[in-house]
Homo-oligomer: A and B are copies of this chain.
Amino acid sequence: MPRTPKPVIRSDIAFSTPDRISVRGRDLPNEVLGHMNLGDFAYLQLTGREASAQQSAMFNAILITLVEHGMTPSAIAARMTYAGAPESLQAAVAAGLCGLGSVFVGSMEGACRMLSEALPAGTKSDDLEQLARDTVASYKARDVSIPGLGHPLHKPVDPRTPRLFQLAADNGMSGDYVKLMQLIGAQAERQSGKSLPINATGAIGAICCEFGFPWRIVRGFGVMARAIGLVGHIMEEAERPMAVEIWQRVEDEASAHLREAP
């Protein structure tokens, strides 16, 4: 099948020559190494721009929030995988990341999407209150729960949320999206009669809108941060393993009724 014209394969991220390595237009060895921290370099890698001091503070805080949250399903999956393939540490991290989907990290993406669809980039709203009411009503009409609200453990307040919002305010990044998220939370509580605190993923989703990030990439912040957390879990698993014990307990209990059948 002739295909004309042949599309060009092109990337603007990086290039190498024998004596140079350039990422986003910066000479990596000389202009980046020793001059930037990892969070700022992540910002450069993703956006092609250098973070301002305010953006740096905020973006590092967002990523750090997402690194570690205890013995999550993703940490357990990584440890289980490492127990079977300790020579493939990278595959253990990959296995742990595979579960960062709609249930455990998706609400961050969902909150960012909800807010950016309610208030498209570059537009203004005269009446955020009304926008919040409309948004809550539309989720209710579709019988879908509002992303970024409520938490099974962190009640009545998710302790990360006020801190993230304070950092947003301190760094000049608390605009209409943060306000809209808060109004949506208040409105949802009023309509449901339940306590529905904005959780960390709701706060992060709103702040990602302030940054102007497209919602499709927001899950990626959770993925890259959690990769760090999972390496920590694997390092601990290598020293004091728990995977085999979990396996044996689960196996014993799960099949007891079969083994004991007459």
Contacts and interface: CB of A to CB of B under 8 A. Distances in A.
B246 A246 contact: yes
A22 to B, nearest CB: 7
Contacts of A255: 11, 14-16, 70-71
The interface residues of chain A, by DSSP majority, are classed as helix
Contact of A94 (B32, B95, B254): B95
Interface stretch (A115-123, A130-138, A233-241): A233-241
How many copies of this chain?
4
Interface string A61-105: 101110111111110110011111111111111111111111111
Contacts of A64: 28, 32-33, 36, 38, 41
B103 A84 contact: yes
Contacts of A91: 85, 88, 90-91, 94, 97-99, 101
Contacts of A221: 231
Contacts of A229: 45
A77 B124 CA distance: 40
Contact of A104 (B74, B84, B101, B105): B84
18 contacts: A11-B236, A13-B233, A28-B160, A38-B42, A38-B228, A41-B67, A42-B67, A42-B228, A71-B254, A72-B251, A73-B84, A76-B247, A83-B99, A84-B100, A88-B88, A90-B100, A93-B220, A224-B228
Given A89-B223, A91-B97, 4 more contacts: A9-B242, A9-B246, A38-B228, A70-B255
Interface of A: 1, 3, 6-23, 28-30, 32-34, 36-42, 45-46, 56-57, 60-61, 63-65, 67-74, 76-77, 80-105, 153-155, 157, 159-160, 162-164, 167, 170, 214, 216-217, 219-225, 227-236, 238, 240, 242-248, 250-255, 257-259
